[in-house]
Amino acid sequence: MRAPVPGLIVGPLRGKQQRFAVLASALGHCAFFALVAFVGIRSAAPPGFESQLIVAELVLAPLEPAATAPTAVEPTLEPEAAPAPAPREALEAEPARSPPEPPPAAPEPEIQREPAAPPERTVEPPAAPTPDERLVEIEEPAVEAPTDLPETERPLVAEGAPAAATPAALSEGPSRALASHEQRALRRRLSSWTGRLDIDNSTLEWRDNGQDYTAVLKHVPAADAMGMEQLLVQLTTQRDGERLVTELRMNRIAFSNFAQFIDRWDPEVQIHDDLIDGRFHSNTEIRVSRESGVHPIFTGKVTVANGDVRSDGVGYMSKRSMFPAGVETRVRRIVLPQRAAAFDEGAVPQERIHRIAQDSLLTFHGDGTFEARPLEGGAAAEPATLGDEPFYIVAGDGVELQVRGEVNGKVLVYSPERIVIVDDVRYSADPRAPGADDYLGLVAERTVEIDEPEVTGPGDLEVQASIYARTRFAVRDYRSRRSGTLAVYGSVTAGSVSATEPRYATRIEFDDRLTTMRAPGFPLSDRYELDFVSDEWHVVDAQ
């Protein structure tokens, strides 16, 4: 990521460009008036006069205004998108109405006319993209959903997870296959649910294709501080005199389910030659830079809630190579919680919490220990052991924590102020290897920052962790000379992000373990997404 480069944004037209724009505008107006005159002549043609209306389009492309800083958005539900207009092909395919024929002067023998055969439609392949092609969002067909159950992007959790246990009362009775169109309808209807349950069970009802459905949602708490909360959905309908029941399972997603999650994209930052290997979400418009042979790559699905994907630069850009998994805009907003602290200190044994009252340097060691050394006063370091259970390092109000070292354990580092990464932070075991069980969460109410170049030193900087910066994730002195690559293996969630270039190129690679697990007490969103759908109905009552 980098700050915008002068010259990438086209400015006002001057000189020959201005004269050319005036001439183009005049020609466009002449064409428009000629078209109006032609339509007038066409409508006044005498009966029997055969003509074909040629439809011409006059596309005016206004100059794109300069980006402005986004205003604060209240955490309210976004209104549903207006229904899309009818496709142009459908309008053109409709036969034109001919004027009524005048009554005949004398009776004539009736002539039987055969209906005219509909004109054949030829489908031409889409034209190849041009260098001036703008980014176009990839949208899925809008599906009507109940207001209690808004639907958004596809589930984060991969399908094919083990099925939830079916009650014996259901499994013992007869079953009916769940038709493919019913599965598709249920996935559209229950792909996600946003909100909180006021009681343990909530009931939703709707009608689809003449069929009534009732869904009972039951909250299932996480098994431990690193698990995911769930909703078990029991769905009931009536068909052919039988009452049918099936079950679905939804997972409450943590912010670490995204490779990168941004609440407010800084309009002064461009995504340049970054690699984001995993899902990406922004609650506001994002800016990408395109140059000859240089552009970012998003390997996972890209979703944008309020705004679009804005492209700056010149030269040809392939959306397929930039967004191989697709990009979807105008999805529902995911709201950051007011406070990042997501664990209940009263429910955690006090021996699993290490409190720090002053600015300190945390150094993790591969043997499962760590030490906290105060930055001022010359006090001795405080050694401690992480152990096998989730561990919490909690700073007091206004306390800054600096972090480095090799993590052997499951730990959350929390500060109400800031966390500064001063050197590499790695897991003791390779997180890509089967059975790896080291997890680190860096959670700050304000900022998580990469320290000055004089501190981190030259070359690449590697961070293996789930990062949550409620206000901003920043690289200090990012305008310094090229140092290397900032490689994050895990996830990055932030209110906003600073530029990283030219000091660092950026590579964010999603830790696949975070699909079903999270660092201890890592913040959860208010979004539940579909994880499992049964392929059959169970008959619980028959007439």
**pLDDT tens digits for range 475-491:** 999 999 888 999 999 99
Instruction: From residue 388, give the alpha-carbon distance in Å to each of 289, 367, 368, 408, 439.
Output: 45, 12, 9, 9, 11
- Is-contact 290 311, C-beta < 8 A? yes
Say which residue, 477 or 159, is predicted with more confidence. Answer: 477
Mean pLDDT within 277-284 = 95
- Please name the residues in contact with 386: beta carbons below 8 A apart, sequence gap of 6 or more: 368, 369, 370, 407, 408, 409, 410, 411
Per-domain residue ranges of the chain = 168-254+529-542, 256-524
Kindly report the three-state secondary structure assignment for every residue of 213-277.
EEEEEEEECCCCCCCCCEEEEEEEEEECCEEEEEEEEEEEEEHHHCCEEECCCCCCCEECCCEEE
Mean pLDDT within 492-507 = 95
pLDDT in tens, 470-479: 999 999 999 9
How many whole angstroms separate alpha carbon 301 and alpha carbon 294?
20
Q: Does 156 have pLDDT greater than 50? A: no
3-state secondary structure of 186: helix
| Least confident span in 174-183, 248-257, 471-480, 523-532 | 174-183
How many whole angstroms separate alpha carbon 428 and alpha carbon 133?
47
DSSP 344: -
3-state secondary structure of 474: strand
- Is-contact 317 344, C-beta < 8 A? no
- Is-contact 190 250, C-beta < 8 A? yes
How many whole angstroms separate alpha carbon 226 and alpha carbon 517?
6
User: Among all chains, which residue has been given the structure tokens 């992480």?
Assistant: 386
- For residue 115, give both structure tokens: 């209906």
pLDDT in tens, 320-376: 888 898 888 888 899 998 888 766 777 788 899 999 999 999 999 999 999 999 998
Q: Does 436 have pLDDT greater than 50? A: yes
> pLDDT tier at 420 (50, 70, 90 boundaries)?
very high
Q: What are phi and psi of 515, to 5 degrees?
A: -65, -40
- Is-contact 7 315, C-beta < 8 A? no
- In terms of DSSP bridges, do strands 211-220 and 230-239 run parallel, antiparallel, or are they unpaired? antiparallel
DSSP 271: B
| Least confident span in 67-76, 204-213, 232-241, 502-511 | 67-76
pLDDT of residue 384: 93
pTM strictly above 0.75? no
